[in-house]
Amino acid sequence: MAAPVGGLEAEEGGGAGRRASAVEVSAPSDPAAPAPRCPHGPTLLFVKVSQGKEEPRKFYACSACRDRKDCNFFQWEDEKLSEARLAAREAYNQRHQPPLSRAQCIERYLSFVQLPLTQRKFCQSCQQLLLPADWREHSEHQLLSDISITQLRKPSQLLYPLENKKTHAQFLFADRSCRFLAGLLATLGFRRVLCVGTPRLHEQIRLTAAGDRSNTKSLLLDIDFRYSQFYLEDSFCHYNMFNHHFFDGKAALEVCRAFLQEEEGEGVIMVTDPPFGGLVEPLAITFKKLIAMWKEGQSQEDSHKELPIFWIFPYFFESRICQFFPSFHMLDYQVDYDNHTLYKHGKTGRKQSPVRIFTNIPPDRITLPIEEGYRFCSLCQRYVSLENQHCVHCNSCTSKDGRKWSHCFLCRKCVKPSWIHCSTCNRCALPDHSCAGPKDGCFICGALDHKRSNCPNIGIAKRPNKSVEFSFSLEKKKKKIAGVKVPSSVCGLRSDSRHCHHCVLLPGLRGDTEASKACFRELRLAGETQDSQNQRRKRVTFHLPWLIRNANFRMKVQTSPKVMILARVRLHGKTGADAWWQEGTGKAFRMGWSKPFHSRKVCIPKQQRAEFMWDSNSTACSFSQLK
């Protein structure tokens, strides 16, 4: 596949046709034609939209995996496949199903709990509960022994989270958020919770129910098959929320249906926390199918009722979610994650989490914890963040991100504190925005209410790094390396980074303003910091203006003779809703000996930020952008 779906998340949130290029879900030309299937169930039909125009040829790709490494299904909509290829595909799909059936998992689980404690082992390497007959096969693996019933009830602590952003994005609730959610559901009187992609909440509800005998039930639907080892058939279904596919067929679908329709659908809520990189539209279609399933079980007089839902998602998807579910509104509560360094609560994390709860439950029924910085606004009749002040002009507590917003009389609405009204654009924007630049929202997440430089996803690079300080000097006389010209009007960097209008530059760099006005193509960096191992390590972070995201750089490091250096390029998340730190993608390469400058070509594909790091006794490092 020509990587068309790779950029999906980048394009979500902004809506159709505003970006240079986006991939969107599309309606099939023939609605009766069934979508071809990959191992993750029916695929989705996508279309590439460039400059607002749809490319004529649509294609099918995996609904669940946004990285072709995870599932490389690709088929043009109008492509005809031979019988032999169809049969091969079917065989491939079969081979890529989980090794054990649901029934086998349950049988194994029942045998496992019967074992004495000393015989209960878990293989961390294979992420599998072991029965004595399996021990030999796993003897060389990393094993955990004496697995208690308490541990079995907390599989999300036993299993390692699948953080692969493009498929599972398994970011688990921090204890604080998990307890808050479980408590809120209990306070609201729900007796059944359909947990769609919320394994830790599922676990918490079951633990609480076991403790207080409240009998609250929970059913987990998740694509992570590992969970099937820990639950009987009435509490887990292997499920794909992007195409409403039950991997175990009709029997599993019936489990879900019965769960939703119990007590004529009374007392049930759906809570979902999908991977943030996922497209809103297919999720909305799925949730509507679950709602329809719940409705079938309702009596006539209840037909006006809605299935209560908590959809946990970043706040900048508000307009997109409300487009599909107009009765939803966003709560101010900031949802925290354990294994997510960025999305943590303001007080403890490095950054305020942008993740919120969207719900159709009236906000006056939802109490947010005062001790965590929420207050009740009697005018809005809802709990809001302490900083979120009631605006008398808007007659509402208007902040979306937890900061105090200010009212603009010209725009007739409240705007972010850092914005000012621009008479050229006739709207509020960041002071250093480009009036000539694209006016259609943020290039990272696509939201219309902010630009990329103010995007909550931009994260790490913008924060000043106290331990590293760089200085640079312009080397005009040096042999010039051709640079790519970026017109200043499209350069997305803030003016306070003193960037050159024509180059990619480094936020936080301090330097000569004259120099930054000139078109310089080579930067010289000097600076260092110590890391924990007392190694010398230098690092610099690049912001790439949106236009030149596919950029080649030359990195040159000057080493003292006979010093081998290890350089590393780290890419910070792709564009899009989950521009998170991507630990795993650091590409390390060695650079040779003794020559005064060693150079390497580095390609930064589509990322918005990249970090260059080098360990060495090197005296200087320079970067230049190549054509």
Ligand X SMILES: C[S@@+](CC[C@H](N)C(=O)[O-])C[C@H]1O[C@@H](n2cnc3c(N)ncnc32)[C@H](O)[C@@H]1O
Contacting residues toward Zn ion, per CB under 5 A: 38, 40, 62, 71, 123, 125-126, 138, 141, 377, 379-380, 390-391, 393-394, 397, 407-408, 410-411, 414, 421-422, 424-425, 428, 435
Distance CA 264, CA 466 (A): 59
Shortest-Cβ-distance residue relative to ligand X: 197
Mind giving me the DSSP string for 44-82?
EEEEEEETTEE-S--EEE-SS-SSTTT---EEETT----
Q: Report the partner that residue 224 touches, choosing among Zn ion, ligand X, none (CB closer than 5 to 8 A by kind).
A: ligand X
Could you say which of ligand X, Zn ion, none residue 168 binds, taking C-beta under 5 to 8 angstroms by partner kind? ligand X
> Are the C-beta atoms of residues 122 and 141 closer than 8 Å to each other?
no
For residues 174-233, which are near ligand X according to CB under 6 A?
197-201, 222-224
Residue type, 515: A
- SS3 readout for 206-271: HHHHHHHCCCCEEEEEECCHHHHHCCCCCCEEEEECCCCEECCHHHHHHHHHHHHHHHHHCCEEEE
Helix 249-261 and helix 280-296: axis angle, to 10°?
70
> What does 410 bind: Zn ion, ligand X, none (CB cut-off 5 to 8 Å by kind)?
Zn ion
Nearer to ligand X, 225 or 324 (CB): 225
Q: Which partner from the list ligand X, Zn ion, none does 223 bind, CB cut-off 5 to 8 Å by kind? A: ligand X
| Rg of the chain (C-alpha set) | 27
138 binds, among Zn ion, ligand X, none (CB under 5 to 8 A by kind): Zn ion
Q: Where are the beta strands (DSSP E) in 526-597?
A: 529-530, 536-543, 551-558, 565-572, 587-591
Question: Cα(255)–Cα(423) distance, rounded to whole angstroms?
Answer: 58
Between 443 and 580, name the residue whose CB sits nearer to ligand X. 580
CA dihedral 117, 123, 182, 328 (to 10 degrees): -160
Which residues from 513-542 bind ligand X, rule CB under 6 A?
A: none
The option from ligand X, Zn ion, none interacting with 575 (CB < 5 to 8 A, set by class) reads none
240's contact among Zn ion, ligand X, none, with CB below 5 to 8 A by partner kind, is: ligand X
- Selection from Zn ion, ligand X, none that 125 binds (CB < 5 to 8 A by kind) is Zn ion
Please, which residue, 123 or 602, has the CB nearer to Zn ion?
123
Residue whose CB is less far from ligand X, 164 or 465? 164
Under DSSP, is residue 147 helix (H, G, I), strand (E, B) or coil? coil
Are the C-beta atoms of residues 583 and 549 closer than 8 Å to each other? no
Residue closer to ligand X, measured from CB, 242 or 581? 242
Whether 202 and 281 have beta carbons less than 8 Å apart is answered as no
Shortest distance (Å) from residue 577 CB to ligand X = 11
With respect to ligand X, which residue has the nearer C-beta, 201 or 567? 201
* Nearer to Zn ion among residue 434 and residue 599 (C-beta): 434
When asked if residue 358 is in the footprint of ligand X (CB under 6 A), the reply is no
User: What are the distances in angstroms from CA 18 to CA 441, 550, 575?
Assistant: 9, 20, 15
Q: Which does 620 bind (CB under 5 to 8 A by kind): Zn ion, ligand X, none?
A: none
| Helix 199-212 × helix 175-187 angle, to 10° | 60
Could you tell me the CA-to-CA distances from 416 to 304, 428, 429 in Å, in that order? 38, 9, 9
Closest distance to ligand X from the beta carbon of 345 (Å)? 14
273 binds ligand X, rule: CB under 6 A: yes
141's contact among ligand X, Zn ion, none, with CB below 5 to 8 A by partner kind, is Zn ion
- Give the start-end residues of each E strand in 423-535: 427-429, 523-525, 529-530
Smallest distance from ligand X to CB 199, Å:
5
Q: Is residue 293 near ligand X by the rule CB under 6 A?
A: no
Question: What's the rounded Cα separation, in Å, for the pair 235 and 105?
Answer: 13
Q: Strand pairing partners for 529?
A: 537
Which residue type sits at 27?
A: A
Which does residue 169 bind out of ligand X, Zn ion, none, counting CB within 5 to 8 angstroms by kind?
Answer: ligand X
d(CA 18, CA 51): 7
Question: Are 217 and 192 a contacting pair, CB within 8 Å?
Answer: yes
Residues 225-244 vs ligand X: string with x where CB under 6 A?
--------------xxxx--
Residues that contact ligand X, how many (by CB under 6 A): 22
Q: Looking at 46, 122, 173, 231, which residue binds ligand X (CB under 6 A)? A: 173
Site string for ligand X, 51-80 (x = CB under 6 A): -------------x----------------
Closest approach of Cβ 227 to ligand X, in Å? Answer: 8
- Measure the CA–CA gap between 101 and 179, rounded to whole angstroms: 33
Selected binder of ligand X within 18, 48, 168, 433 (CB under 6 A): 168
Mask for 15-54, x = binds ligand X (CB under 6 A): ----------------------------------------
User: In this complex, which beta carbon is closest to ligand X, that of residue 169 or of residue 577?
Assistant: 169
Which stretches of the chain bind ligand X, using CB under 6 A?
Answer: 64, 168-173, 197-201, 222-224, 239-242, 273-275
